Amino acid sequence: MLARQIYRNVIRYFSRSPQYLKVYEGEGKTTLHIMNKDEELGLMINGYSQAGFRLNNNMTVLGPMIIFSRSVLAWNIDDITDVTEDSLCLFKILEPKIDIIVLGTGDKIDNHNFFKNLLVFSKKHRISFEILPTEAACPTFNFLNAEGRNVVGAMIPPQTFTYTEDDELTTKLRYQNLYENN
């Protein structure tokens, strides 16, 4: 009971204190900016499936891809086992030097040899990697790209894909809008 009273008093103090009221000087409205719709921020990944990726410029990329802020390349690999020093050779010669490569592995991987080989490549060529399942790699790439970082996404579509109710609803609404607009 005493802890609840102290908690309320602390919250009341901070919410009414003039020094904390000045932190937010806006007009009192919360705003939302959808980065994927802002083409000035560069290419971003809007969605992915087992077949490939959908970008914010309405382009669909089938299969694995390498995505930069303004361009996309098809990546000639089948799955994460094909990621070797040879398949990463492009990143050694790029100018300006890349800040980070976001590697979307498709699904989760537990291959310790893969990580060990990638670590050797990373140290040898001084290239930073962020290795994530594709579902986490896509928004990571989008955020770093919107920040203006010199980021590259090397993405592999996942082998397994789970649909949610939101995915189904979004797809239905997109196709409904497509039919209504024609």
Q: What is the pLDDT of residues 148-163, one digit of tens each?
A: 999 999 999 999 877 7
pLDDT of residue 77: 94
Q: Is residue 110 part of a domain?
A: yes
Q: Tell the residue number behind the tokens 């109710």, with chain if given.
A: 165
pLDDT for the residue numbered 108:
81
- The 3-state DSSP class for residue 54 equals strand
- As a whole number of angstroms, the distance between CA 12 and CA 2 comes to 15
User: Residue 8 domain-assigned?
Assistant: no
pLDDT digits (tens, 9 = 90+) for 70-93: 999 999 999 888 999 999 999 989
Q: How many helices (H) and strands (E) does the chain have?
A: 6, 8
Domain contains 7: no
Residue with the bigger pLDDT between 124 and 108: it is 124
| Any domain includes 25 | no
| SS3 state at 165 | helix
> Tell me, what CATH number does 77's domain have?
3.40.1230.10
Q: Kindly state whether residue 67 falls inside one of the protein's structural domains.
A: yes
Task: Quick: pLDDT tens for 113-126.
Answer: 888 889 999 999 99
What confidence score (pLDDT) does residue 13 get? Answer: 63
Cβ proximity of 132 and 140 under 8 Å: yes
Tell which wins on pLDDT, 17 or 136: 136
For the question of whether the overall pTM of this predicted structure is more than 0.85, the answer is no
Rounded Cα distance between 168 and 38, Å, is 25
Rounded Cα distance between 176 and 94, Å, is 43
d(CA 33, CA 52): 26
Instruction: Assess if residue 22 is contained within a domain.
Output: no
Lowest mean pLDDT among 34-48, 109-123, 132-146: 34-48
Answer yes or no: are the C-beta atoms of 67 and 45 closer than 8 Å: yes
Instruction: Give the domain extent around 144.
Output: 31-159
Confidence band (pLDDT; 50, 70, 90) for 35? low
Residue 54 lies in a domain: yes
Q: Which residue has the tokens 């089938």?
A: 62
How large a percentage of the chain has pLDDT more than 90? Answer: 46
Measure Cα distances from 56 to 27, 30, 37, 76 in Å: 31, 24, 7, 22
- The pLDDT mean for the chain works out to 83
- Count of domains for the chain: 1
- Specify whether the CB–CB gap between 85 and 114 falls below 8 A: no
pLDDT in the model for residue 42: 86
> Does residue 14 sit within a domain?
no
Give the Cα-Cα-Cα angle 50, 53, 54 (nearest 5 degrees). Answer: 135
